[in-house]
Amino acid sequence: MKIEDTPEGWDVLDSKERFQGHVVKVVTDTVKMPRDEVADRDYVVHPGAVAVLALDDRDRVLLIRQYRHPTRMLMWELPAGIRDVEGESLLAGAARELEEEAGYRADTWYTLVDLRTSPGMSDERIRVFLARDLTKVETDFVHRHEEIDMPVEWVPLADAVEKALMGMIHNSPAVAGILAAYAASVEGFALLRPADAPEA
């Protein structure tokens, strides 16, 4: 059997919207299961997100720290944001987030890894990019809410891997991006897809 996620759609007999928030909504689908069983499935409909693992010429990862209210934690993360600009490509969104949140631009981009963060309860998808050849830039972006006084730190990639494996970094795109970058660096990033690779 081929080990690759593939598109599949089971019949939805009914769908009810339970909640509509500022970013997400919650729905219940009544799904026809194999052998004619029927079951309700609640899930979060999410616009998706992009994240950026910025890696400098000293093999250091750029990390930011934000307060995340649902977890009641200050969490170390990659620059990231939801896909909330109509018509904006994933790459353009990632470049915008890197500049707005961290004050950097990158000349070289790759697709690092694609994630479905919690596929049993959400349709959220996140593309994590690898950004190289970085330049510090001035930005007039106004930070608000969780982004106020957000520190930016450069962490050696090997140290970031250790922190992820030791349970010191929990944010899923950060953990996946750090481990993927470390694995990809073994082959000099030759196995990575181009920045405009199609998304499943």
Does 147 qualify as catalytic in the annotation? yes
- Distance spanning both ends of the chain, measured CA to CA: 19
Please give the Cα distance from 46 to 185 (Å, whole number).
31
Identify the active-site residue in 4, 147, 153, 187: 147
Could you tell me which residues come within 8 angstroms of residue 81 by beta carbon, excluding any fewer than 6 positions away?
Answer: 49, 50, 93, 96, 97, 100, 101
Q: How far is CA 68 from CA 72, 73, 198, in A?
A: 6, 6, 30
Please give the Cα distance from 135 to 93 (Å, whole number).
17
Tokens of 170: 């929990």
Catalytically active residues, by annotation = 147
